Structure 1
Amino acid sequence: MSFDLKEIKHIAELSRLRLTESEEKLYGEQISSILDYVKMLDEINLEESKGKNKFLSLSGGVSDLENVWRKDELKAKSEEEIKATLSQAELEDGYVKVKRVL
């Protein structure tokens, strides 16, 4: 997809940009290149991978990568584990004191 000079000037005006002639030509080529790439991405058929745990790869295709992250689930601790943890922890005003995270 290519843009003519009139369209580039219109886009620049909408963006409140003052472009030189060389910039108009350069940006016209760059915008065309970007839109060609978006058009290529638009042509990828995602329907065939629906429901199969597939992800888009950086190359623009569909790969067989699987999600390896586990769900963050709360695990119940026994009273003995809690007491053992608290006996080793440094307490301040009844709270466990930990090192600063950020």
Structure 2
Amino acid sequence: MAISRSEVEHVAKLARLKFSQEEIEEFTVQLSKIIDYVNKLNELDTENVEPTAHIVPIHNVFREDEVKPSMDRDKILMNAPYKENGCFKVPKIIE
């Protein structure tokens, strides 16, 4: 299945991209080759192949959550230029 020049121009318009005539020709050829390759992959017999998301087995490598003491709030706010009710106070940026 070949990609037509008009399809490349249409996708470029949707993506708000401007290409020269030479670039459109080049992309038409390149995208057609990509589609042909994908179609060739569709010819493979995958009847007995299990669906996979990764080619190697992956397991959870995260550590367990542990509650740990944090820094003292007063110590953290000690160098804050503005604070209010035990929190950092920052300028309002949205009206």
What's the TM-score once normalised by structure 1's chain length? 0.46
Structure with the bigger percentage of helix = 1
Higher-RCO chain (CA-CA 8 Å, sequence separation at least 6): 2
What's the TM-score once normalised by structure 2's chain length? 0.49
